[in-house]
Amino acid sequence: MKRMKWVLGLLLAFALVLSACGGGNEAKDTDGASTNNAAESTNTAGEDNAAKEEATPASSDTKVVKYLDQEYTLPAKTERIVITGAVEAMEDAIVLEVNPVGAITFSGKFPPMFESITKDAQSIGEKMEPNFETILSLKPDVILASSKAKPEVIEQLNKIAPTIPYSHISTNWESNLKLLGELSGKQEQAEQDIAKYKEDLEKVKATIGDSLKDKKVLALRIRAGEMYIYPAEVFFNPVLYEDLGIEVPAEVAAAKAQELISKEKIAEMNPDYVFVQFSPDENKDTPNALEELQNDPIMKNLNAFKNGTAFVNVVDPLAQGGTAYSKIEFLKAAVESLTK
């Protein structure tokens, strides 16, 4: 009996040892499996994320455009361009043959100057009076506004589509044309047009030589029946004084912005050449201002008027002066006028 009890006790002890060993191995395997599964899960997720990032880059649907030290995030394709406020952009569009889906009207219509780019365009309002609802309906990829626009206007436009304030400063004409070239996919053409202007300029300078060294040349704009001059770096002045190297009159050098100038003051200057720009749209209340100016005794006594070297609208009166289009067209007209 004692022997039987001893055998049973031994068997029980042996069973307990086996049970303990089995439980330990099971726990170890479970822990190992959990750890391995977690690692495999992490690796799989990492591989999936890497594959996803490689397949769809974060910037695949956008592009960053740098313009005048600012960066703008735009859709990868900027095919639907709306121009509001920036007549400068309208002029550049002529040069690059870019057709905006929305553009500025003047007195409710597109002037002949812009007919080549507005055949399929919709009016989005007058120069500084954008129609936000119309712009929204056109679903633009990018909006070109004027750098003269009020901040609240730019803010409102940005709610519709990425908006770039297009510079009205003459010295930025190259940057402007390159920007429109980048937006329209015509970068190479923009570069070629800039190079062509500079090449033509050198030819004109060679033709003129020193013939204008001691001559006074003045560019005027008639607005609301009054005459205005501009600083040396504004209007058509950069072509005359910077590009062609004509001496800047003291009155122009002293101008800080658009400045009213009297007939008496111009008589004191007594310019040898005068370029007058007159647009009916800018003189609605004084439609006879140009005729009155030409017949005024004081003006008729100026060297330019007496010698037949006073020129009116040698380029379209809507031309802003400080754009690629204005510079190209004015240079052609100026060389014909200044060599008479």
Residue 36 has pLDDT above 50, yes or no: no
Question: In this structure, what token pair is assigned to residue 191?
Answer: 């570069």
pLDDT at 281: 87
Amino acid in the structure at residue 56: T
Specify the residue for token string 């590009």.
Answer: 243
Question: In this structure, what token pair is assigned to residue 182?
Answer: 């980048």
Q: Please tell me the distance from the alpha carbon of residue 262 to that of residue 254, in angstroms, as a whole number.
A: 15
pLDDT in tens, 140-189: 999 999 999 999 999 999 999 999 999 999 999 999 999 999 999 999 99
Query: 0.85 cut: is pTM over it?
Result: no
pLDDT in tens, 40-60: 443 444 444 443 334 334 457
Q: Is 36 exposed, middle or buried (0-12, 13-18, 19+ CB in 10 A)?
A: exposed
Residue 11 has pLDDT above 60, yes or no: no
pLDDT at 176: 98
pLDDT at 54: 40
Average pLDDT score over residue span 275-293: 95
Compute, in degrees rounded to 10, the torsion defined by CA atoms 33, 34, 40, 46. -170
Q: Please tell me the distance from the alpha carbon of residue 335 to that of residue 340, in angstroms, as a whole number.
A: 9
pLDDT at 37: 41
Instruction: Locate all alpha helices (DSSP H) within 286-323, ordered by sequence.
Output: 289-295, 297-300, 303-306
| Alpha-carbon torsion (59, 62, 63, 66), positive or negative | negative
The answer to whether residues 179 and 164 touch, using CB atoms and an 8 Å cutoff, is: yes
DSSP 282: G
Residue % of the chain over a pLDDT of 90: 77
What are the residues whose beta carbons fall under 8 Å from the beta carbon of 263, sequence distance 6 or more? 227, 296, 298, 299
The answer to whether residues 310 and 295 touch, using CB atoms and an 8 Å cutoff, is: no
Cα atoms in the Cβ-side hemisphere of radius 13 Å centred on 268:
7
Q: Please tell me the distance from the alpha carbon of residue 217 to that of residue 180, in angstroms, as a whole number.
A: 32
- Per DSSP, the chain holds a count of helices (H) and strands (E) of 13, 14
Q: How confident is the model at residue 5 (pLDDT cuts 50, 70, 90)?
A: very low
Amino acid in the structure at residue 289: A
